[in-house]
Structure 1
């Protein structure tokens, strides 16, 4: 929405105190869309030309990324992907119901909100279930009703080998609990912390400014003691991580200096 871009501009020029904004364009969905009649502005596309035009409109509107949505067919999704590459704008959002998650990931989609598509991608009946998804008709009263049974079938047919082909890191809402679970699942504490710091910075293309602890980033990246476990980041932990926004180093703070598994330097995408 225009007001979001106005707020972002004011934050960046220092006339409004606020967080850094990363703004998506109006979502691009196939037809019929879940959002028909719900009052939300969006692009409902029926042809590849319309899909490409929606991508160009997102860029013209000043969006940081194109948002793809659930009802895009595979041909429409391919058109969005191709046009986004031509326009040099990232694309992210939902994994379309009729597109395999691994296919979307390989195409360059930057994120998969709500982990949509994960249940199917980790099922040994993925192809069968995706075919069934293509037959689902959108119910305007309850658009998700027909998807539930298919997702349950996918969960019941979960296969560890399929899952190992899909998962890397999926940090989400319960940050402190998820960091602990990532370590229990086999990551080292440093790799888990990178999942909540360095990797999101890389995703946003901001890893030259945030996500690591270095002199020019002191304004946002300080902690009280070196991190030895992910429980250190939780309230009440023995060595609490405490990012500080300010112009100088806190008097009683020490710079974090992990001695192993230092973040790899990468070029900004």
Structure 2
């Protein structure tokens, strides 16, 4: 069985003190309202039993541990809405502190190699404060056609099997049902209906044989990755789907299936239509289909990798770095045509992403970070993703919204909504500079509060030092 080997020294500076206190008063902070884009200087925040108890300029709390914010900027904690922290036995040992170091106090795991009971056990230890880590949502009940794209998936090759799988997912206590790439349309539609029948959100990939419009009509609430949006803006979407449907119905070998999928890049570039795209994005926005874009994944395919001596690399276990240096099946599957068109395809995705934002399609900032996904880093890659959003055309406030406000509201969390107000969970980040003017300040938070537990800068430095030492 997998066991968490969480061995980091977490009794660093104020962190240990905060864990022993039921009340803390964070004074003289400038509260950033990410929704309105406004600042409220000279505020204090009283934290009691892991929740925000009071917010205001003058708060009296004689028994509280006092922390001076020195006028710095306080934002809600960040979320990464698409990660995989359970792809190896000890991955949380590295992943959890990396998220906190980067101000990420909530993550949604979207597929794991651990049994659900062991995932839930770690989730409970985080919630109790026994393990220091971000809030964890377990939404990785991924369902695929046989034989499954990854180990440990739920499998469904017929509508009846899809309905049965959803019953198992509900019984095991997952937070959502996740569709995967190779489902046929009939099984996919049955999966959607069954998920809604049991009251679970229906999220995931748009299967390779299913049109985006079909997914909207089926009520898919959350879509992982962005490439299928650009494909839905192509006048040849249905023709591309039909080619793959026919090949798979005839029992085509996997190489032929991948060849058909790879050929789509050129077709999309040649047939992308702005008017059609506007109409599709309007449908997505009206339906409230949230998208977790994971645009940063493109860096892996284009070789935009950090240097071996970069701090983020040195915080990763040596055996993981070594595995990342081996040949990767995803890169080997890329054809010469895909490589030649890569930059044009990425540019079109980014153009379509900006149009989606303008159309009101809700975005959930996400990275796909995992030890199984080379050069996608827990924590760091989410900040890279936010920087991409700004480079594409979002304002810093709009980018922050996708990581602070949109995720907890989409997840339906009763104690979080991206605001710093009484009754909300005390997941907070204290920054040196105004993030509404630029996101660079996110790279070095001065304090992170997670579930009411405080990590000051010395504690965060200690976590970094421990990871660097372990990564040697």
Contact 1:95–1:116 (Cα < 8 Å) also in 2:
no
Contact 1:176–1:230 (Cα < 8 Å) also in 2:
no
Higher relative contact order (CA 8 A, sep 6+): 2
Deviates more, 1:42-51 or 1:143-152: 143-152
Residue 155 (1) aligns with residue 262 (2): no
* 1:265 equivalent in structure 2: none
Cα 1:177–1:235 change in 2 (3 A) is same
Cα 1:120–1:241 change in 2 (3 A) is farther
Residues 192-237 of structure 1: per-residue CA shift (max 9 Å, x gap): 211121111122222632522224447322434544323354437x
Give the deviation of 1:178 after TM superposition.
4.2
* 1:190 equivalent in structure 2: 397
Contact 2:447–2:455 (Cα < 8 Å) also in 1:
no
Contact 1:123–1:159 (Cα < 8 Å) also in 2:
yes
In 2, distance between residues paired with 1:163 and 1:246?
Answer: 41
227, 243, 246: which one aligns with 1:132: 243
Contact 1:120–1:130 (Cα < 8 Å) also in 2:
no
Residues 61-83 of structure 1: per-residue CA shift (max 9 Å, x gap): 11111121112222211111111
Contact 1:193–1:230 (Cα < 8 Å) also in 2:
no
Q: Which runs of 5+ in 2 are unaligned?
A: 1-114, 282-355, 368-380, 457-472
* 1:171 equivalent in structure 2: 365
What is the DSSP-based 3-state SS (H/G/I as helix, E as strand, rest coil) of the residue aligned with 1:229? Answer: coil
What is the DSSP-based 3-state SS (H/G/I as helix, E as strand, rest coil) of the residue aligned with 2:178? Answer: strand
Give the deviation of 1:163 after TM superposition.
3.2
Deviates more, 1:201-210 or 1:242-251: 242-251
Deviates more, 1:138-147 or 1:120-129: 138-147
Residues 20-75 of structure 1: per-residue CA shift (max 9 Å, x gap): 22223542223x4443xx6x122322321111000111011111111211122222
* 2:228 equivalent in structure 1: 117
* 1:266 equivalent in structure 2: none
What is the DSSP-based 3-state SS (H/G/I as helix, E as strand, rest coil) of the residue aligned with 1:41? Answer: coil
Residues 114-134 of structure 1: per-residue CA shift (max 9 Å, x gap): 325223212122122222221
What is the DSSP-based 3-state SS (H/G/I as helix, E as strand, rest coil) of the residue aligned with 1:211? Answer: coil
Residue 64 (1) aligns with residue 175 (2): yes
Contact 2:396–2:439 (Cα < 8 Å) also in 1:
no
3, 10, 15: which one aligns with 2:125: 10
Question: Number of aligned pairs?
Answer: 245
Cα 1:15–1:104 change in 2 (3 A) is same
Residues 140-169 of structure 1: per-residue CA shift (max 9 Å, x gap): 468634311123312332222333333223
Residue 20 (1) aligns with residue 157 (2): no
More strand by share: 2
Correspondences of 1:74-153 after superposition (within 5 Å)? 74-137=185-248, 139-140=253-254, 144-153=258-267
TM-score, normalised to structure 1's length? 0.75
In 2, distance between residues paired with 1:115 and 1:27?
Answer: 18
In 1, distance between residues paired with 2:214 and 2:441?
Answer: 35
TM-score, normalised to structure 2's length? 0.46
438, 443, 447: which one aligns with 1:230: 438
Cα 1:9–1:136 change in 2 (3 A) is farther
In 2, distance between residues paired with 1:77 and 1:197?
Answer: 31
In 2, distance between residues paired with 1:232 and 1:70?
Answer: 35
In 2, distance between residues paired with 1:123 and 1:241?
Answer: 46
What is the DSSP-based 3-state SS (H/G/I as helix, E as strand, rest coil) of the residue aligned with 1:92? Answer: strand
Contact 1:72–1:96 (Cα < 8 Å) also in 2:
yes
Cα 1:172–1:20 change in 2 (3 A) is closer
Cα 1:170–1:163 change in 2 (3 A) is farther
In 1, distance between residues paired with 2:430 and 2:129?
Answer: 26
Give the deviation of 1:96 after TM superposition.
0.8
In 2, distance between residues paired with 1:85 and 1:214?
Answer: 32
Structure with larger Rg: 2
In 1, distance between residues paired with 2:454 and 2:397?
Answer: 23
Deviates more, 1:146-155 or 1:12-21: 12-21
Contact 2:142–2:177 (Cα < 8 Å) also in 1:
yes
RMSD of aligned C-alpha atoms? 3.2
* 1:256 equivalent in structure 2: none
